[in-house]
Amino acid sequence: MKNEIRSDWNLEEAQSIYNKPLLELVYEAATMHRKYHNPSEVQISSLLSVKTGGCKEDCSYCPQAARYHTDIKVHGMLNPVDVVDKAKQAKAAGANRMCLGAAWREVRDNRDLDKVLEMVRGINELDMEVCCTLGMLTESQAQKLSDAGVYAYNHNIDTSEDFYGDVISTRTYSDRLNTLDNVRKAKMTVCSGGIIGMGESTDDRLKMLITLANLDQQPESVPINTLVPVPGTPLEEQGQVEFEDLLRMIATARIMMPKAAVRLSAGRLERSRLEQGFCFMAGANSIFAGDKLLTTPNPEFNADMDMFKFFGLTAMPSIHEKQKAQQTSEATV
């Protein structure tokens, strides 16, 4: 069988996948999806911003950058007990992963990090997977998070290296890649993707997928966000991404990274149920659920559960739950 997990993708190959007749592309992505995943399971993450706003970076898309005047509720580090309570509620609603976000350029070794580590330990005790997205990490900070039980670290490369400077000037593409390297060294799983709809070309989108697919080890999770244009940010006037472009992007990511969880991330409120269903067909198998992303709205949890029912989809159990189920079945053999 030809090797489908490749790390030598080039632009012509990515273009030839992306530009296939639409239904042919979706069929090929759906076929790949079925080979590596249970197509009726979707992984659900609940997002929580544990420290909101006041960030010193200049990411043009982000409502949490201190230099833009946006209408968000800025707050310092939340109390770990309250965060674990929120995780309990998310678990009861069906989420298997809790993702904690902080508006930091990079992690600092201080009391706030200690609080995050306490949250991580508390959420692990609920048998949920913990994901963190806290900005850049050194090798030793990555190790600290891993030791506390962080399962996945989200750190998006956002776009192509060529377009990166048009969106962010306060850090470089290689800073981002360096953190992804530190995450790998500390044996956390990698969650990395990007945003479409910031004014980049189709080739920029494909180059981003190539960078991710050609990493030494492909990311376990690839979020595809559509820009949520927030008033006050430099990208507030960006127009809506065509659905066809989102669908082609999801399908191409699925074909280039067959084993990854492809996450249909920010921007779902603008998509109909049938459009989202098409994305699940084309290989998306993960979402952020709950009525808020970090600072912007997301579909209501119950509406998502109705959508799952309509399509015959179910929530994926967490890695802890899978391990427990396996131990129980081994014990009864």
Residues contributing to the site for ligand SF4 (CB under 6 A): 55, 57, 59, 62, 64-65, 103, 105, 135
| Whole-Å CA distances, 246 to 241, 242, 285, 309 | 7, 7, 14, 23
Burial class (CB in 10 A: 0-12, 13-18, 19+), 18: buried
Spatial separation of the C-alpha atoms in residues 18 and 192, rounded to whole Å: 20
Catalytic residue among 99, 176, 254, 279: 99
Least spacing, CB of residue 14 vs ligand DTB, in Å = 20
Spatial separation of the C-alpha atoms in residues 9 and 53, rounded to whole Å: 37
Which partner from the list ligand SF4, ligand DTB, ligand SAM, none does 26 bind, CB cut-off 5 to 8 Å by kind? none
C-beta closer to ligand SF4: residue 105 or 320: 105
Which partner from the list ligand SAM, ligand DTB, ligand SF4, none does 227 bind, CB cut-off 5 to 8 Å by kind? ligand SAM
Q: Which residues form the interface with ligand DTB (CB under 6 A)?
A: 47, 63, 101, 133, 154, 156, 193, 223, 225, 228, 265-266, 293-296
Which partner from the list ligand SAM, ligand DTB, ligand SF4, none does 65 bind, CB cut-off 5 to 8 Å by kind? ligand SF4
User: Do 196 and 165 contact (CB within 8 A), yes or no?
Assistant: no
99 assigned to active site: yes
First to last CA, the chain: 33
Centroid of chain to Cα 233: 21
C-beta closer to ligand SF4: residue 105 or 273: 105
87-102 as b/e, with b when 16 or more CB fall inside 10 Å?
beebbebbbbbbbbbb
Q: Which residues form the interface with ligand SAM (CB under 6 A)?
A: 61-62, 64, 101, 103-104, 133, 135, 155-156, 158, 195, 225, 227-228, 230, 266, 294
Catalytic residue among 111, 132, 263, 271: 263
Spatial separation of the C-alpha atoms in residues 313 and 39, rounded to whole Å: 8
Spatial separation of the C-alpha atoms in residues 151 and 97, rounded to whole Å: 9
Burial class (CB in 10 A: 0-12, 13-18, 19+), 331: exposed
Catalytic residue among 191, 254, 271, 279: 191
Tokens of 283: 């290989």
55 assigned to active site: yes
Pick from 211, 201, 241: which is nearest to 225 by CA? 241
62 assigned to active site: yes
C-beta closer to ligand SAM: residue 155 or 268: 155
Beta bridge partners, 115, equal none
Least spacing, CB of residue 263 vs ligand DTB, in Å = 7
Catalytic residue among 131, 132, 176, 279: 131
C-beta closer to ligand DTB: residue 25 or 256: 256
Which partner from the list ligand DTB, ligand SAM, ligand SF4, none does 155 bind, CB cut-off 5 to 8 Å by kind? ligand SAM
Please name the helix (run of DSSP H) or strand (run of DSSP E) that holds residue 243, with its range, or none.
Answer: helix 243-256
C-beta closer to ligand SAM: residue 281 or 289: 289
Three-state secondary-structure class, residue 328? helix
Least spacing, CB of residue 308 vs ligand DTB, in Å = 20
Least spacing, CB of residue 241 vs ligand SF4, in Å = 19
User: Do 48 and 101 contact (CB within 8 A), yes or no?
Assistant: yes
Spatial separation of the C-alpha atoms in residues 252 and 255, rounded to whole Å: 5
Spatial separation of the C-alpha atoms in residues 29 and 324, rounded to whole Å: 31
C-beta closer to ligand DTB: residue 122 or 229: 229
User: Do 160 and 204 contact (CB within 8 A), yes or no?
Assistant: yes
Which partner from the list ligand SF4, ligand DTB, ligand SAM, none does 137 bind, CB cut-off 5 to 8 Å by kind? none
C-beta closer to ligand SF4: residue 49 or 221: 49
Least spacing, CB of residue 233 vs ligand DTB, in Å = 10
Active site residues: 55, 59, 62, 99, 131, 191, 263
